[in-house]
Amino acid sequence: MSKMYSRARGKAGSRKPVERKVPSWLSYKPKEVEQLILKLSKTGLSPSMVGLTLRDSYGIPDVKSVVGKSITEILREHNAMTKLPEDMVALVRRHIELTKHFDANHHDMPAKRGLQLTESKLGKLAKYYMRVGKLPQGWKFDPTKAKLLIE
């Protein structure tokens, strides 16, 4: 959502290879990769951090090419997913930090604007996730209970 709220052009990132084939040098079997994913998620890592750890520490460049399923699909099959999607949790954490900052600094108007933008993004994401079925219908973000959402 970088272009909507700023003049920035977004972040540049690396692209995945067009062909989804298992690298010839990879020695991990699909079951081993699934077990690694479950082990890393039990330590409290988010799905994206699990992917980064697999890439950097274990040399597994793409889970979907090895297993045939994404990390979130594997976690969902084993009932290891969190209640809220990962991007919602990040926005809730940001909201908590901005609220804490704004309570201490009442005259910080840029922080107030950031808080408004964060609440707006939360509403848009909630609408999307309710439409797709990842959140129950009628789910509302309650700022007073925000800390309970991410614990």
End position of a domain, from candidates 77, 111, 140: 77
Q: What is the dihedral of CA 46, 51, 55, 61, to 10 degrees?
A: 180
**Which strand (E) or helix (H) includes residue 50?**
helix 47-57
Across 5-9, 61-65, 97-101, 141-145, least confident range: 5-9
Does residue 137 lie in a domain region? yes
Long-range CB contacts (within 8 A, 24+) of 21-24 = 21/65, 22/65, 22/66, 23/61, 23/65
CATH assignment at residue 122: 1.10.287.10
**Helix ranges (DSSP H) in 105-141:** 109-132
17: which 2 tokens?
């290879």
Residue 149: pLDDT band (50, 70, 90) is confident
Predicted confidence (pLDDT) at residue 11 exceeds the cutoff of 90: no
Q: How many domains does the chain have?
A: 2
Which pLDDT score, from 0 to 100, does residue 2 have?
55
Which pLDDT score, from 0 to 100, does residue 20 have?
81
Same domain membership, residue 134 and residue 95: yes
Mean pLDDT of the chain: 88
Supply the range of the domain harboring residue 49: 30-77
Same domain membership, residue 106 and residue 70: no
Same domain membership, residue 101 and residue 70: no
Same domain membership, residue 115 and residue 72: no
Predicted confidence (pLDDT) at residue 71 exceeds the cutoff of 90: yes
The Cα–Cα gap between 55 and 33 comes to: 11
Does residue 23 lie in a domain region? no
3-state secondary structure 82-106: CCCCHHHHHHHHHHHHHHHHHHHCC
